[in-house]
Chains A and B, each alone.
Chain A
Amino acid sequence: MSSRLPPVTGEWIDRSRGLDFTFDGKAYRGWVGDTPASALWAAGVHVLGRSFKYHRPRGVLSMANHDVNTMMQTGARLNLRADVEPLEAAMALTSVNTAGGASGDRLRFLNALGGFLPVGFYYKAFHRPKALFPFWERVFRRMTGLGTLDFNAPHIRTPKRYDFCDVLVVGAGPSGLHAALAAGRAGAKVVLVDENARIGGSLGYQRGGSVEGLEMLRDLERDLAELPNVSVRAATLAAGYYADHWIPLVDAKRMTKLRARAVICAGGVFEQPAVFRNNDVPGVMLASAAQRLLYRYAVKPMDKAVVLTANADGYRAALDLMAHGVAIAAVADLRAEGEPSALTMRVKQVGIPVLKGHCVLEAEAVDDRLVAATLCPVSAEGRPDTASPQKFACDGLLMSVGWAPAAALLYQAGASMRYDAGVHQFVPERLPEGVFACGRVNGVYTLDSKCEDGERAGTEAARLLGFDVPARNFSVAAERVAPSHPWPIVDHPAGKNFVDFDEDLHLRDFHNAAQEGFDNIELLKRYTTVGMGPSQGKHSNMNAIRILARIRGKSPGEVGTTTARPFFHPVPMSHLAGRGFNVHRETPLHGRHDGLGAVWMQAGVWLRPEYYGQPGKRKADIVREEARAVRESVGIIDVGTLGKMELYGPDAGAFLERVYTAKFAGMKPGTTRYAVMLDESGVVIDDGVVARLADQHFYFTTTTTGSTTVYRELQRWNAQWNLEVGIVNATGAFAAMNLAGPKARAVLRKLTTLDLSNEAFPYLALREADVAGVPARLMRVGFVGELGYEIHVPADRAGHLWDALMDAGGEYAIRPFGVEAQRLLRLEKGHIIIGQDTDGLTQPDEAGLEWAVKMDKAFFVGQRSVDIVRKRGPRQKLVGFELDAIGASTAPRECHLVVRNGAIAGRVTSIAWSDTLGKHVGLAFVAPDMTEVGSPFFIRADGGTMVQARVVPTPFYDAEGLRQKVVD
């Protein structure tokens, strides 16, 4: 039995394009433009889902994105809102939260247990005995939840984009359209969005049996189309408001982060349900839902209807239904005085009985479908007079008792709202600069007034932004009759008077919550969970406020509202995730390493070769080979990730003395010096090598991870000191490689005319020379403990130099080595790595850097703190250690704890097996009284094994430093 109507003017469906789909396994057919709910309703399916808690049958409520009991799943797509999502071909829809489908849900027995499942019962009933709670938790998890996750869901990339406009208008109903038109005509770049598939808002469906609204819409669409500076975007949701008019716009494809200069909220209102017994049975729906079914989808919502109303909109809805063949059994008007406008006459003229001062006492269902409504008189306070109820047979019941503003964006923007008793609605009282509201969200309901209000908002926004529009007086008349009823609630003693359809909360739950002391709106919300379901209170918060206000004897304004957080509606996770970006930096030698089989590791933002992989070889063996090449012949490592700074100017030396602990003023050009940087609390934050190229020119390195922050802090210091210096972060501009090993000089000699003899170019000296034709800065360094040259060259010539060095090193079996081998080599030398062998509390004295701290200077950052800390003495000391057991299979690892008498006495910062030394060596923080050479201590390794270690002096290898200093 189809209830699809003959073509209706303005319908959204395309009858030339059919769509086959299934719901709970049965086949149906709809049209392009349908939603699953409209197509199913047209096919005579009225149970579209089950409620969350009691598994009651639910049908159409709003057709406006808050029918959360009819959320469906198709394939991997969860939480598909059947009332608004476009129907697609071959959808295999299933109802969620049911056992065996919506119509035969095996969990529907829960409805009969409703009396035993009051609000808060989870908290009370199942926490004792505690041991059983996990059992109950599993039961509930199976019985609740919405949809089934598909863990094989494809990874979908939905690129985000940015957008910019002068005026964003949210909501394309009559007021929003006028606002967009006014701002657009003023010359502003306007974006007009509406979450519905088509624009027009109430003009399209609240027709009252007339075509005037539709004609106005056509005119407005034509006017807007003439303005190239106005972009109209239907099916686009303004999902939230963030600081400075930053609005995420969500459409089917993506999220657009729009920056507007002004925002006009014309989002309208949500129609609110009446509360009475069984107000949730399929067939009971908001009046606007019936109108949407009629005019958008050409679906006859019911055959015979009762209309419960408290405003003019209910009368218009009755006329709309009549015009499409629906019989109206009765109109019950909650107001004793009825509807003052001419609408009453028009309804009466067509023979519909109008019962003033009447309410719906109860709805009645048979086989999950509404069959009758019982009406009775109601007092002004909302008390039903049950003496002589009248029962009307009907398969549809319209609720048209009031509205609540779609004001989430306004709240998020920081607007203050007040309760206006003239319209019985919260309306904006004070709006932040650049935020405007118009239309029904602003408490303006009469069509002419809405248009005027929209024009006002559009004009004011344009004027604020400096567009040349003449000032005008706008007169938006106050509503004479409130469109919302202050108490659309009838307390039926038998219950099932639902307030929140998401969470199956009924009226009694609110009284219980208030009795238990949760009588503040924020507490009430959290205890009852009202408004916390997927519709986020869009159909329940207003009634909850009215109920709480009455319980506490206050006005709704005094009770206040809660603020809906962004996002305003759920959006797909893929929209939020967007495109995956993997920000990283590569040295200019990246391609060379790739060609050599580099296994990459991340070092801060950098990619570095951890080692160079070889088929069939284990990492540990490769690392040992790489290290051995350095010890025995020659190796080369890319150290281009080091921070590299140029420092110029007459005050350059003075500047360095302030930021590093060492002295630099007396440094001669052509020399280098190790440098330690502290923060103001005296903690070691960075180290590097400072080279003096000329009197007013230094070049220095920072750690790989420190370059950005060190540069930033240096700039900040100089913004305060105003020394005559120029600091340039040349990290990316220079490539650097360390050529190290006994054969390093022999290799280098082939490529440069520079005198490399120990006398001409001693340890720690700096020279500038061409190497393989590339202008280079060479520093003799000893980080890995062998003769070594750190060669810095312009990045674009790094590849050329690398190739030349590899070529020249061929006869010595030169070996590129990675970070892992370097870590081992430097550990053998006892050289520390800032950030590995130090942490966020390490003072220089604790890390054995006393020698690098020159206190006899006027000032350096951290000096005063070092001074204070030295009076106290160190709390820990970094020492070298070796493991007693050779080749211990349970060797400790980095961060394992040093334990003494059952208490933590320190931790391992570095440890490695050294082939060269034939034992495990490492660095560890220990208590200051444990540092004596030879003294044993214990490290707690994996599985709690206690491993004995012994303090030994560092360097472990070549203690005199002969290999790096005097090699010929």
Chain B
Amino acid sequence: MKILTCPVNGPRPVSEFAYGGEVRPMPDGATCSDREWADYVFNRSGVPGVKIEWWYHIASGTWFHAERDTVTDRVIRTWLPG
């Protein structure tokens, strides 16, 4: 089982975490077109490569970001957002 390093709780088996999807900026609803908004809501990029993702450590309620290569499943780094 994969080990993921929570920035607060340290390395833990991935079963302690929930995946939160790729980190994607929300377009400004006031200025973007309907099409742009729909693209944000419904479409996800499946292109393999290094991505920044949301992960959640369940027991402590910690959301954090992980930079992960989806080709090799290697986690490059993790950090708290903000």
Q: Which of B26, B56, B73, B82 contacts A712 (CB under 8 A)?
A: B56
* A34 smallest CB distance to B (angstroms): 38
A257 vs B3: C-alpha distance when bound (angstroms): 14
* B37 smallest CB distance to A (angstroms): 5
A243 vs B14: C-alpha distance when bound (angstroms): 10
Residue in chain A with minimal CB distance to B38: A868
Residue in chain B with minimal CB distance to A682: B41
A246 touches B38 (CB 8 A): no
Measured between beta carbons, the chain A residues less than 8 angstroms from B73 are 243
B1 touches A863 (CB 8 A): no
A243 touches B2 (CB 8 A): yes
Interface residues on B, range: 20 to 34
Measured between beta carbons, the chain B residues less than 8 angstroms from A715 are 56, 61, 63
A243-281 CB contacts (< 8 Å) to partner B: 243-244, 246, 257, 259
* A881 smallest CB distance to B (angstroms): 32
* B58 smallest CB distance to A (angstroms): 8
B37 touches A868 (CB 8 A): yes
* B19 smallest CB distance to A (angstroms): 12
A246 vs B3: C-alpha distance when bound (angstroms): 9
Measured between beta carbons, the chain A residues less than 8 angstroms from B81 are 719-720
A716 touches B82 (CB 8 A): no
**Using a Cβ–Cβ cut-off of 8 Å, how many residues does chain A contribute to the interface with B?**
23
Residue in chain B with minimal CB distance to A862: B41
B56 touches A681 (CB 8 A): no
A722 touches B82 (CB 8 A): yes
Q: Which of A246, A680, A716, A722 contacts B41 (CB under 8 A)?
A: A680
A719 touches B63 (CB 8 A): yes
Counting chain A CB atoms within 10 Å of each CB, which of B2, B18, B41, B73 scores highest?
Answer: B41
Q: Which of B13, B20, B34, B37 contacts A716 (CB under 8 A)?
A: B20
A244 touches B18 (CB 8 A): no
B29 touches A863 (CB 8 A): yes
Residue in chain A with minimal CB distance to B73: A243
B1 touches A246 (CB 8 A): yes
Residue in chain B with minimal CB distance to A863: B29
Contact with A along B47-82 (1 / 0, CB 8 A): 000000010100001010000000001000000011
B29 touches A716 (CB 8 A): no
* A958 smallest CB distance to B (angstroms): 39
Measured between beta carbons, the chain A residues less than 8 angstroms from B26 are 680
A868 vs B32: C-alpha distance when bound (angstroms): 12
A899 vs B78: C-alpha distance when bound (angstroms): 52
B63 touches A716 (CB 8 A): yes
Q: Which of A244, A246, A716, A859 contacts B56 (CB under 8 A)?
A: A716
Q: A864-B29, A868-B34, A868-B37 are in contact. Are A719 and B2 (CB under 8 A)?
A: no
A883 vs B16: C-alpha distance when bound (angstroms): 49
Measured between beta carbons, the chain B residues less than 8 angstroms from A246 are 1-2, 13
Measured between beta carbons, the chain B residues less than 8 angstroms from A720 are 81-82
A651-684 CB contacts (< 8 Å) to partner B: 680-681
* A830 smallest CB distance to B (angstroms): 30
Q: A716-B54, A719-B82, A859-B29 are in contact. Are A244 and B3 (CB under 8 A)?
A: yes
**8 extra A-B contacts, CB within 8 A, seeds A711-B61, A719-B63, A719-B81:** A246-B1, A246-B13, A712-B18, A715-B63, A716-B63, A859-B29, A864-B29, A867-B29
24 contacts between A and B (CB under 8 A): A244-B1, A244-B2, A246-B2, A257-B1, A259-B13, A680-B26, A681-B41, A712-B18, A712-B56, A716-B54, A719-B63, A719-B81, A720-B82, A722-B82, A729-B61, A859-B29, A864-B32, A864-B37, A865-B37, A865-B41, A867-B29, A868-B34, A868-B37, A868-B38
